[in-house]
Amino acid sequence: MKLTSYWLDTSMPFASGAAGPVEGTCDVAVIGGGLTGASAALALAKKGARVVLLEAETIGNAASGRNGGMCNNGFAQDYGLLSARLGRDVANTLYRAFDAGVDTVERLVREEGIDCSFARVGKIKLAAKPEHYDRLARSQELLAANVDPDTEMVDRAGLSAEIGSTRYHGGLIYRKSAGMHVGRFVRGLGEAAARRGVAVHERTPMTSLKPAPEGGHLVGTPKGTVRAKQVLLASGTSQTGPLGWVRRRVVPVGAFLIVTEPLPVAMLDRLTPRRRMAVDTKNLVNYFRTTPDNRLLFGGRARFAVSNPASDEKSGAILRAALHDVFPELTDMRLDYCWGGMVDMTRDRLPRAGERNGIYYSMGYSGHGTQMSTLMGTIMAEVMDGRAELNPWKDFAWPAIPGHVGPPWFLPLVGAYYRLKDRFQ
C-alpha cells in the first residue's frame, strides 16, 4: 500500500516550471500552486498581467491534490439552518456560488483541453440514521422551493438503485455535482497558466513579504526576491512563510483517504450503480466514489489529527474498517493507496476572501474547495482588477479563533466532541 496520494501518483509531473532565480518585477505574485493559485494565475495571465507563481513544493501537492476529487454543489451545512442564520437571500447567493464553481471547473476543462475525466454524475448525501433522513427531507424541500429544484430524495426502499449497501436510510441527490481526476486537473491548470506566460516556480516558498519602498510588495524566496504590484495569498494551511494572521484564522484539520485495487466493473455496478459522488451525514464524515480506473476511493475525518505517514497509516486502518462496514463485499480486496492531507477549516466552515493591508487572499474552503477554490481563483483575478463586488465572501468578517495561536492543540477535544455527537444524534 502506497502512502501517497492516488491523484498525484497517477498524474504526469508538472513539466513547465520556470528556470533561474526569482527576480525582477511582475504585476502579481501568487503564493500557492493549488487550485486557487493556478486558476488565479491563469485568469490573470489571460487579462494580460505578468504573473509569478510561487509554490513551496510542487503544483497540487497540498490539499488540491489530496482530496476526494469531488466537484460538488451545495453546502456542507444544512441549508435551512444556514438560511436562518444568514438570511434566505444571502444563503441563496452563496449556494449559487457553489453551483458556479462546478460550472467554472467544467468550462476550464473544456477550454484548456484538460484530460481529467470530468463527469456530471451527481452527488448523494446518505442518511446515517433514520432521523437524519427526516432532516435531509426538510432541507430538500427548502432547496427545491428556493434555490435548487434539481434535487431529489430517495427513501430507503429506493436506495438500492444508488448504492449496494444496507448501511444507510435514504439520501438526498444533488444532480449538478461532478467528479474528476483532481491531480490531472490542478496540474493541467498549472500547465495552461505556464502556456500563457506565467512564471511557475516550484519548490520556492515565500520566506518574506514586506512593502517595497517604491510601491508594491517585495516577496522573498530562497531563490531571490521579486517586486510585485499585487500579491494573492492562495496558501491554505501552509506553515511556510510570514502567514501568522492567516494561521490564527484557519485550523488545519487532517482528511484521510484509502483507494482499493482496480475492481471488476460488475462489482462496481452493484456497489455504485450510478457512479455518484457519495457522502454521509455523520460529523466524522465518510465519503466515497469510483475512480476513472475502476477503483473505490473511501475517505473521511477518520481522526482529528495532522497528516504524516504514521498518522495516515493509523487513519487508514480506521477507514478500512468503515469501508468494510459499508461494503462487506470489499473485505478481501487489496488497498493500494492510503494518504492524508490538511483541510483549511474556518470556524463557521465557510470560505474567506478579500484584501488586507494591500494583500489579497482566498482560502478557508473547509473541505469543499475543489469547485470553490477554482471559482475563487478566477474571481480574485477580477477583484484585483477593481471588481470587488464580484467576491461572494466580501461582507464576511474573519476574526481570529480564540486560543489558536500555534499548532491546533484542541483537535483531539474537537474529535471527541464530534464522536459523541455522532453517537447520540
- CA–CA separation, 253 vs 255, rounded Å? 7
State residue 418's pLDDT score.
64
Domain 6-414 has CATH 1.10.10.10: no
State residue 422's pLDDT score.
72
Place 306 in a pLDDT band, splitting at 50, 70 and 90.
confident
Place 77 in a pLDDT band, splitting at 50, 70 and 90.
confident
Q: Taking all residues of the chain, what is their mean pLDDT, rounded to a whole number?
A: 94
| pLDDT digit string, tens, across residues 213-255 | 999 999 999 999 999 999 999 998 888 888 989 999 998 888 8
State residue 252's pLDDT score.
87
State residue 404's pLDDT score.
86
- CA–CA separation, 252 vs 301, rounded Å? 12
In this structure, what is the dihedral angle of CA atoms 290, 296, 301, 306, given to the nearest 10 degrees?
Answer: -110
Name every residue whose Cβ is closer than 8 Å to that of residue 424 and which is 6 or more positions away in sequence: none
State residue 417's pLDDT score.
64
C-alpha separations of 330 from 178, 285, 297, 335 in Å = 24, 20, 12, 10
Q: What is the pTM of this model?
A: 0.95
Annotate 322-390 with three-state secondary structure.
HHHHHCHHHCCCCEEEEEEEEEEECCCCCCEEEEECCEEEEECCCCCHHHHHHHHHHHHHHHCCCCHHH
- CA–CA separation, 237 vs 221, rounded Å? 18
pLDDT beyond 90 at 325: yes
Lowest model confidence (mean pLDDT) among 164-168, 202-206, 309-313? 309-313
Name every residue whose Cβ is closer than 8 Å to that of residue 103 and which is 6 or more positions away in sequence: none
| pLDDT digit string, tens, across residues 339-349 | 998 889 899 99
User: What is the DSSP secondary structure assignment for residue 119, as one 8-state letter?
Assistant: B
CB 220 within 8 A of CB 207: yes
In which residue are the cell numbers 464553481 written? 101
- CA–CA separation, 130 vs 192, rounded Å? 47
User: What is the DSSP secondary structure assignment for residue 213, as one 8-state letter?
Assistant: T
User: What is the DSSP secondary structure assignment for residue 236, as one 8-state letter?
Assistant: T
Residue that wins the pLDDT comparison between 126 and 253: 126
State residue 376's pLDDT score.
98
Name every residue whose Cβ is closer than 8 Å to that of residue 48 and which is 6 or more positions away in sequence: none
| pLDDT digit string, tens, across residues 143-161 | 999 999 999 999 999 999 9
- CA–CA separation, 396 vs 399, rounded Å? 10
Q: Phi and psi of 205, rounded to 5°?
A: -70, 150
* Average of per-residue pLDDT across 283-294: 94
pLDDT beyond 70 at 423: yes
| pLDDT digit string, tens, across residues 373-422 | 999 999 999 999 999 999 999 999 999 998 887 777 777 667 676 677 77
State residue 206's pLDDT score.
97
